[in-house]
Structure 1
Amino acid sequence: MRILVVTVVHHPEDARILHREIAALRQHGHRVVYAAPFAAREVAPRPYVEGIDLPRAAGRDRRSALRAARALLAERGPQADVVLLHDPELLLALPGTLRRWRRDGHAPVTVWDVHEDTAAALVMKRWLPRPLRPPLRLAVRAAERLAERQLRLLLAEDAYQRRFRRPHPVVANLATVPPEPPEPPGDERVVYLGHLSRARGAPELIETARLLTPDFRVEVIGGADPDMRGPLTEADREGVLRWHGYLPNDRALALLSGSVAGLSLLRDQANYRHSRPTKAVEYMAHGVPVVTTPTPLAAELIERYGCGLVVPYEDPATAAQAVRHLRADRQLRRRAASRGWEAALSDLNWADRATEFVMCLESWAKEASASRTTAGRSTSPAGTAPAGSRPGPRS
């Protein structure tokens, strides 16, 4: 198949988009064109995909990104068998584009990969004026219902099914798990992997690191919201923690193994109550005990697999105490690490689901190709090719 993957919001090195989904498509022989904000994020496309640079949609500045995305979809969409969209913002670029594709008889299968509860996430957008948040939540729900009628949907969490009227395939955020047991957890390093924002507990992370200094080395990996960059830079300068900034997924994961604990200090936000923190699964996959706040799916991981400790929301003192407890109890630390890795390998391994993801897109493309063929036969003289016909998806 020819797949056009588009994002104007996510980092081009996003683990779900590049390291899981695009990697799986390529492993099955499909050709990928990847449109993302490469220049804005100061990264180059990987050599194994055709990269197209788009403006980045950030804060209130989204119009230029949407104009560029609309132009890209108009030009490159008809050349694709599947268009895979990763941002709800891109739904705004579709109405006229879909009509044009269908009128011209070159409509690709268009898929929206639903990463989060967009309406619930609006309350965390500090750039969005508070009075606008309630009406925008209603608008987002209406857009989701319209998208369900017009597009194919993939969901990142089972719980997202409740937002839609029909069932849709779930492509969960799982980890690529090393097949061999990782390095046992040590007793000096603590890690954090993921984006840094107030809602994700960045202030608590900094204070937890301060309480652990100088007995531990706290390594923080991830980009940050503008209001958190100053505090993180200052904490790094003071030696409270080491902030690496954003690192490509493969480089970031290499820093996990051997840590005494991995921190996930999400605050109690609606968008997190039915989402499993990907960082927690990554910690498990690399043999790192998890210290997490009690978001329901994170706490369920700890309870089911015994892979770490749960601490209260917005409580750095207890988080620091949990890290010290793991270091003091070597048996607990190693048991949590081994149970986490075993659970990730058996139950949370992307390698076991990658083929299902690819087969889902393949089946939709084949269905669309068959529909075009049937429609063409019904409108063409016997023995002639239907007008506007083109080859079906290649695999």
Structure 2
Amino acid sequence: MVSPRRILVVTVVHHPDDARIRHRQVASLLEAGWEVTLAAPFGGHGVERPVGVPGLRTVDVTRSTGRRRMAAQRDARRVLRELGPRHDVVLLHDPELVPTTLGISLPVTVWDVHEDTRAVVALRSWVPDRLRGPLASVASALERSAERRMVLILADEEYADRFAREHLVVPNTTPVPADPPPAGTPDEQGRLRVVYLGSLARERGVAELVAVGEQLHRRTGGRAVLEVVGPAHGAAVTAQLEAARQQGHLEWTGFLPAREALGRLDGALAGLSLLHDVANFRPSMPTKVVEYIAHAVPVVTTPLPRAVDLVERSAAGVVVPFHDVEQTVETLLAWVEDPATAAALGREGHALAARELDWGVHSRAFVAAMDRLADAPR
């Protein structure tokens, strides 16, 4: 009997229930018969480790956050040293894990490049201004080092220009439901829901979301509500959202597991992506936009190039200027008065998502790549 292939998946930054890691990659590997060890900061995020999942073993590691990162790196290095050699492949999901592998005898090691490592330095509020330039240079050096020593997979084809060689692109697509409910379906209270799904930070448009929520609530008399789903980053952002929630201007759930979060999209009137014009966002496809159209929800997005391309090709929404709360609200109010138009836009987006963006298709390339790596000579 052939032994199952085994993979060690490690993150010290991401939530253990991260959609890309847990619900796309790990789930696909388990379905393909792999044995998966998931090392993630369960305790640091306050979640229980899953039990009873066939083929899945979990390990709790220290969470890396803000300036408190060295303990997490030491813990990850311990896990890699102890568990890595027992697996056929090691899959890393954080750039800071790249240097932790130095000097450790490991099987083939893969780094999943989630974002523009250099550009993201500018978004970290905990990085002092005087260190942003030097740390950006360190990030570039880290990418060059990783390409020499590891196999890379890229979350977006736009990242390819940063590397010397060609690498597999595993895009942030999503499972596409076959027949989602139409956009603009009232909830149990008879309200129309506008949804934001994703992490929350200043550069992700939190101030605009709060303003949109207030105007939507006031101008519809509560007939439409903004529902915000996702974790907040930073005390100031948390305070903004909590104040708006207490005033009744929006509903904020905080983090939800991926399946529950995606379930909140079904029947929504619209999905918002009000990201700012920052370097890390320009080359990337916002995952939330993909998830909205996959669930037949029309999109209101700022004019980041990849989002514009998807919305225009799919005819699934509206592009508004950066920071333009008024135009965003006017678009939503038009759909509040005419939900059938929102539903028609949602159907257009869903059709494109089913053709091009279904994780059920892209997952096959990912699993096949891991199979090849597991079978390669060490």
TM-score (norm. length: structure 1): 0.90
- Counting aligned pairs with the same residue, the percent is 45
1:46: Cα distance to partner? 2.3
Structure 2 equivalent of residue 176 of structure 1: 175
Counterpart residue type for residue 80 of structure 1: H
Q: Where do 1:151-166 residues align within 5 Å?
A: 151-166=150-165
Would you say the 8 A contact 2:269–2:339 is kept in 1?
A: no
Q: How many residues align?
A: 361
Structure 1 equivalent of residue 233 of structure 2: 225
Would you say the 8 A contact 2:92–2:111 is kept in 1?
A: yes
Structure 2 Cα separation of the partners of residues 283 and 179 of structure 1: 14
Query: Secondary structure, in 3 states, of the residue corresponding to 1:199?
Result: helix
Counterpart residue type for residue 136 of structure 1: L
Would you say the 8 A contact 1:284–1:290 is kept in 2?
A: yes
Q: Where do 1:336-351 residues align within 5 Å?
A: 336-351=345-360
Structure 2 equivalent of residue 386 of structure 1: none
Structure 2 equivalent of residue 381 of structure 1: none
1:198: Cα distance to partner? 0.3
Question: Which residue, 79, 91, 95 being the options, matches 2:86?
Answer: 79
Q: Where do 1:27-46 residues align within 5 Å?
A: 27-46=31-50
Structure 2 Cα separation of the partners of residues 292 and 273 of structure 1: 13
1:363: Cα distance to partner? 0.7
Give a deviation string over 1:94-142, Cα, whole Å, max 9, x none.
1122xxx1xxxxx311000000001101111111011111111111111
Counterpart residue type for residue 119 of structure 1: R
Structure 2 equivalent of residue 263 of structure 1: 272
1:328: Cα distance to partner? 3.1
Query: Secondary structure, in 3 states, of the residue corresponding to 1:365?
Result: helix
Deviates more, 1:25-34 or 1:44-53: 44-53
1:283: Cα distance to partner? 0.6
Would you say the 8 A contact 1:185–1:287 is kept in 2?
A: no
1:331: Cα distance to partner? 4.3
Give a deviation string over 1:316-373, Cα, whole Å, max 9, x none.
11111111122334443122100111111111100011111000011122123xxx4x
Kindly report the root-mean-square deviation, in angstroms, between the aligned alpha carbons of the 2 structures. Answer: 1.1
Structure 1 Cα separation of the partners of residues 180 and 85 of structure 2: 46
Structure 2 equivalent of residue 116 of structure 1: 115
Question: Which residue, 62, 66, 87 being the options, matches 2:69?
Answer: 62
Would you say the 8 A contact 1:185–1:337 is kept in 2?
A: no
Query: Secondary structure, in 3 states, of the residue corresponding to 1:40?
Result: helix
Would you say the 8 A contact 2:183–2:339 is kept in 1?
A: no
1:254: Cα distance to partner? 1.1
Question: Which residue, 93, 112, 117 being the options, matches 2:100?
Answer: 93
Would you say the 8 A contact 1:263–1:291 is kept in 2?
A: yes
TM-score (norm. length: structure 2): 0.94
Q: Where do 1:1-395 residues align within 5 Å?
A: 1-47=5-51, 48=53, 49-97=56-104, 101=105, 107-186=106-185, 188-214=192-218, 215=220, 216-226=224-234, 227-368=236-377, 372=378
Counterpart residue type for residue 78 of structure 1: P
Give a deviation string over 1:176-207, Cα, whole Å, max 9, x none.
11122433433621001000000111111111
Structure 2 Cα separation of the partners of residues 271 and 71 of structure 1: 31
Structure 2 Cα separation of the partners of residues 121 and 79 of structure 1: 33
* Structure 1 portions without partners, runs of 5+: 102-106, 373-395
Query: Secondary structure, in 3 states, of the residue corresponding to 1:126?
Result: coil
Give a deviation string over 1:250-269, Cα, whole Å, max 9, x none.
11111111111100000000
Structure 2 Cα separation of the partners of residues 181 and 209 of structure 1: 25
Structure 1 Cα separation of the partners of residues 181 and 112 of structure 2: 31
Would you say the 8 A contact 2:44–2:62 is kept in 1?
A: yes
Structure 1 equivalent of residue 189 of structure 2: none
Query: Secondary structure, in 3 states, of the residue corresponding to 1:272?
Result: coil
Would you say the 8 A contact 1:185–1:257 is kept in 2?
A: no
Structure 2 Cα separation of the partners of residues 330 and 211 of structure 1: 18
Would you say the 8 A contact 1:221–1:243 is kept in 2?
A: yes
Query: Secondary structure, in 3 states, of the residue corresponding to 1:133?
Result: helix
Give a deviation string over 1:267-324, Cα, whole Å, max 9, x none.
0000000110111111111111100001110011111110000011011111111111
Would you say the 8 A contact 2:316–2:345 is kept in 1?
A: yes
